[in-house]
């Protein structure tokens, strides 16, 4: 399997996916994780976490001038979130497609937000918007030692 594994490293990205407090409160954790798992991406990190205000502010610092920013920080810190690091070729853009448009009413059926949410302020899940932000956000939300680097048994059945 070694040549296969080396080939699989080319173009590999990581993305930070987070089930927001509404997704946790509504019992959607299994459903949402399942969509990424079934797609064939590699789970590298997973935890239930009560986000401190400072971390929410750092994560969403690019939005701090938006009118909804205070509400967004309240929302993200209002209960536990599920933090995940996922790896794969093209995982950043593909995850954004699985998640769907920011406004759940505009998100396509079949996407997480399209199927499971109705309002932008309660859109159940976050996904990094670029490979750079994928690295940045995983560094921000996970500590050294919280990530696993492993090869799943199904690897040769996902990539030729």
Known binding-site residues for ATP equal 20, 68, 96, 102, 113, 123
Indicate which single residue of 71, 110, 148, 156 sits in contact with ligand GDP (rule: CB under 6 A).
71
Q: Which residues are catalytic?
A: 126
**Binding to ligand GDP by residue 95, rule CB under 6 A?**
no
- Give the annotated binding-site residues: 20, 68, 96, 102, 113, 123
Nearest approach, Cβ of residue 129 and Mg ion (Å):
5
Nearest approach, Cβ of residue 18 and ligand GDP (Å):
10
Which residue, 8 or 95, is less far from Mg ion as judged by CB?
95
Indicate which single residue of 129, 136, 146, 155 sits in contact with ligand GDP (rule: CB under 6 A).
129
3-class DSSP string for the chain: CHHHHHHHHCCEEEEEEEECHHHHHCCCHHHHHHHHHHHCCEEEEEEEECCCHHHHHHHCHHHCCCCCHHHHHHHHCCCCEEEEEEEEECHHHHHHHHHCCCCCCCCCECEHHHHHCCECCECCEEECCCHHHHHHHHHHHCCCCCCCCCCCCCHHHHCC
**Binding to ligand GDP by residue 92, rule CB under 6 A?**
no
């Amino acid at each position: 399997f070694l040549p296969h594994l080396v080939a699989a490293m080319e173009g590999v990205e990581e993305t930070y996916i987070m089930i927001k407090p509404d997704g946790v409160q509504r019992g959607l954790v299994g459903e949402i994780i399942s969509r990424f798992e079934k797609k064939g991406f590699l789970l590298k990190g997973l935890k239930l976490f009560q986000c401190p205000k400072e971390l929410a502010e750092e994560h969403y610092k690019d939005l701090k001038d938006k009118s909804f920013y205070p509400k967004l920080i309240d929302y993200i810190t209002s209960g536990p979130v599920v933090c995940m690091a996922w790896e794969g070729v093209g995982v950043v853009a593909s995850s954004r497609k699985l998640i769907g448009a920011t406004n759940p009413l505009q998100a396509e059926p079949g996407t997480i937000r399209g199927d499971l949410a109705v309002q932008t302020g309660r859109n159940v899940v976050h996904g990094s918007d670029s490979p750079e932000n994928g690295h940045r956000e995983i560094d921000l939300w996970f500590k050294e030692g919280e990530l696993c680097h492993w090869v799943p048994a199904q690897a040769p059945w996902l990539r030729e």
